[in-house]
Structure 1
């Protein structure tokens, strides 16, 4: 019976039917015999033998399915999952996480949802991805309209998929009263749909938040010196999204202390690089110590070039510092050449500009640089 239903569903999804939902209901009705309640039906055994759950998983899941008296509905659900191409492992994972998926009504819910998603142009593999990622949300009739809206916002299913892999909570937010007002407000702040989609991907709960919360987030972003309409506004929103004013104030004070910044300087740094608020204090302290004490940068210089703080201390800042210092100490590089310009370039460009030209006079430079990137300090990089 499962094989028959699977074949019927596969045939339906591959045919250009004008009314896939009605065909799906008719085919399942034709394939489903009348089944009387079976008092001897053992849910736990069914979960193990038919769904592929482990015994502990089945024991836990069966508590939510104690009302089931027959395999009829679970069989129909498994048939539609198999027809979508879900593997046995995918089905087992789905049922283990959402046992009540087996109770979903195929004709009233799953069939219309599958038909609706097919009508949006999604393939069977796309829909199978959605089942695995959205689970309980897939069991709601509103799933299709919600997904259609987010497909338009994100531009394509391929763009939406990474966000779904991080979490599908935003799909269950009410479109009319929550999501659309939030999107309209963000657009009024100068964000395009692409920016909003990226913001949603980084902060999954944002579009599902109360509109007043989103307005407060925008106010906090402006308070750190990033106005609406600026290219950094999305990054500022992401940084302050779920931070309280008190936590932001504490972070600002810590930044001032670490980098010896004035109020003006910390505002310059944050307006240029809002994600500084999200960096750990420990990481920032180690970079502050090295850049100020070792490299000799003035606090004001770092405030105007906060991109320095986004790079790895051990994997980039320190090794490149040693190379630049070595070249200057040996007369191979102009002493006025900026260390900052050496840090910000990509690895290949750095090697081409600072390593390769000196192969003959400094044959061990590439080897020493690689060692420094591994956390070692070669003897040739130790200066008095």
Structure 2
């Protein structure tokens, strides 16, 4: 491992890294090259699920609880790419002894499968601090275990620590049970009390955490942004069709029901639009969502592509005229901005955002000239689709300006926060 003379060194803890298609892994993966470019040498500590980084010091720690062991073994089998009957039988036999303990763990507290990563991670991280002598500890997640491990390391070493919550640990619409809520609340209070700075991905998440904890003025909001999309073949434009495209998974209250109902109402009022309107859906859909998409009453208007390789999804994004965002219809949506938003913004296409009670996200989209509608109101969404169609028909749909929300700007702000010794 080469080291740049005079560079700063950070110990970076993230359970997930180098896992294709996983947002919390992509979050840190996009930042590592930019940290190095800024003269920071990352010393990376992750879970065992992703591929190893080359050219930097990268260590791995494993989980100790049954849920973590089960998760990591299953991920190992999937990573090898062999899913035949014999492999599945072998996986079942290997995991069978863990099953009773896994069920007992879930009965006691329904935590995420990575919660028990912190014992070995804190031990390995402390050893890395003695070997590499980092100037700062940076934990990001995703799983709360990265922050707990970082806090334990920081307490033993006295090294400044910046924690970054990619999603709120505690939020409205909680579904995991009271035992899990108490434990995650305890973890949140621990991080907010001990970290030098705590980074949130929305201002609303920062505000709510500050109201629950002793965070004070050490919280910061940094919008994570997105990296530029890779070069793709030129667009095969069909001016006779207005294509709306949604990318991402559906499940629970985040589903296509309201958008499909809006489209149905519009086509009922103006059946001639069936010749020009198209809705393409890329990504996994639960059984109810898939059924709704396949049973849309007007033939040829809705296409459900399912899961596709990332390059194919990016090509579909380029072919679309309008990118569609659908938020969950629950309180959690009020304090989160999906990472897909930033990818949409750098794609340079108009966006139709079905937003649920999130003025911050609505402001981000509207501020860049995009269309926002209430995610739970089919009538409002119908009017938004109709207005977009009118603008497309008259040639005034336009191409949005470049996005100011980039990974590079986020990393620049992160470094500024990390190297500030006084709360701003």
TM-score, structure 1 normalization: 0.24
**Which is helix-richer, 1 or 2?**
1
**Which is strand-richer, 1 or 2?**
2
Determine which structure has greater relative contact order: mean sequence separation of CA pairs < 8 Å that are 6+ residues apart, divided by chain length: 2
TM-score, structure 2 normalization: 0.23
